[in-house]
């Protein structure tokens, strides 16, 4: 047997209940809107990051192609430049290690 059959609801209790239901519905609507907005922002961020990554990959591929062509056109000069770069980096690393020790 429902409680409304035993104790008739007062107008104040009904108003309070209606207000609470309305507030709950409003909160649910706000949460749904926030979810949709959050998903849209996340989708935009992922799309933007994907575009930037694609541009970066294109630049890396272009640089790789340019390096490959240069090595093919001047293999000796390329090897000497690589050796010089390695020696420079090794020298810098050794100088940094010496400063730490002493």
Q: What is the structure's pLDDT at 12? A: 78
| Tokens of residue 35, six digits | 């979810």
- Please indicate, yes or no, if residue 3 is contained in any of the structural domains: no
- Please indicate, yes or no, if residue 25 is contained in any of the structural domains: yes
- Please indicate, yes or no, if residue 96 is contained in any of the structural domains: yes
Q: What is the structure's pLDDT at 68? A: 94
How far is C-alpha 72 from the chain's CA centre? 39
- Please indicate, yes or no, if residue 2 is contained in any of the structural domains: no
Query: Positive or negative CA dihedral for 7, 11, 14, 20?
Result: negative
CB 70 within 8 A of CB 78: yes
- Please indicate, yes or no, if residue 37 is contained in any of the structural domains: yes
| Tokens of residue 43, six digits | 């989708």
Our count of domains for the chain comes to 1
- Please indicate, yes or no, if residue 1 is contained in any of the structural domains: no
| Tokens of residue 91, six digits | 């020298």
- Please indicate, yes or no, if residue 74 is contained in any of the structural domains: yes
Q: What is the structure's pLDDT at 76? A: 95
Which residues form the domain of 87? 10-101
Per-residue pLDDT of the chain (102 residues; tens, 9 = 90+): 555 555 555 667 777 788 888 888 888 888 888 888 989 999 999 999 999 999 999 999 999 999 999 999 999 999 999 999 999 999 999 999 988 876
Note the pTM of the prediction, 2 decimals: 0.47
- Please indicate, yes or no, if residue 59 is contained in any of the structural domains: yes
């Amino acid at each position: 047997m429902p409680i409304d059959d035993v104790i008739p609801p007062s107008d104040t209790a009904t108003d309070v209940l209606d207000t609470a239901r309305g507030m709950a519905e409003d909160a649910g609507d706000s949460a749904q809107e926030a979810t949709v907005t959050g998903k849209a922002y996340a989708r935009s961020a992922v799309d933007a990051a994907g575009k930037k990554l694609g541009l970066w990959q294109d630049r890396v591929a272009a640089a790789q192609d340019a390096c490959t062509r240069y090595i093919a056109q001047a293999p000796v000069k390329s090897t000497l430049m690589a050796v010089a770069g390695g020696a420079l980096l090794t020298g810098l690393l050794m100088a940094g290690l010496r400063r730490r020790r002493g």
